[in-house]
Structure 1
């Protein structure tokens, strides 16, 4: 028998933390505290069509953003990227669009994606966690 509310307190804390982080990313002066490590990811959910907006830690190499999905078993958002999927990111004060896709263990793109992320966050183990790679559209 499941205990009522066992998942809700942690989920509520994460929602509050995410809302706070998104607010920081959109507040002049405060945004500089987070913008080198965190960006806003925004997309339409593949099945529900609902808008998903969340802060994610990223590493960037040119027009490539690499997002490690830590603790993937407790998250669902990354499953939208099993096939290429349009995204918007709010990155260092600017909105950018692009296409994200999932890079799994064994993919030929995995070593490069892991290198980019590991170069930015050397203390975070990439392991076998899913990686979402976002190819940003050219700036016009």
Structure 2
């Protein structure tokens, strides 16, 4: 088994645990202040993907920072003109449009604008 296989298996376990906390009636309000779940359709696979992510708000925008972006691929679904997604906020799924940008330091941020 390769290290990348171990990493992906561990990430799956962590993601399932984070999603359980986010959607928990008991812990969701607390955890949901900085973690949420996004759902989107993969541009190549066409499959629906659910992923827990950290976020923060800036005005009406929701910013999702991508840690170690070169080792991840999910954010690439939102490059260029971006793509639609659904984000769980306050226990409610909200549709929006996300665009990924990379700054001069290589940091990636996915900016979500909620549909009105």
- Normalised to the residue count of structure 2, the TM-score between the two structures is 0.91
Give RMSD over aligned pairs: 1.3
What secondary structure is seen at the aligned counterpart in 2 of 1:73? helix
Task: Give the number of the structure whose alpha-carbon radius of gyration is greater.
Answer: 1
| 1:1-140 mapped onto 2 (5 Å cutoff) | 4-82=1-79, 83-105=81-103, 127-138=105-116
User: How many residues matched?
Assistant: 115
Q: Which one has more relative contact order, counting CA pairs under 8 Å at least 6 apart?
A: 1
Shift of 1:5: 2.3
Q: The residue matched to 1:101 in structure 2 has which SS? A: strand
**Shift in Å, 1:61:** 2.5
Check the 8 A contact 1:65/1:134 in 2, yes or no. Answer: yes
5+ long unaligned stretches in structure 1: 107-126
Q: 1:101-131 deviations in whole A, cap 9, x for unaligned?
A: 012226xxxxxxxxxxxxxxxxxxxx53111
Q: Distance in 1 between matches of 2:60 and 2:85?
A: 14
CA distance in 1, matches of 2:70, 2:106: 12
More strand per residue? 2
Post-superposition offset of 1:47: 1.2
Q: Deviations over 1:70-114 (max 9, x none)?
A: 1011100000011220000011211101000012226xxxxxxxx
For the residue of structure 2 that corresponds to 1:68, the secondary structure is strand
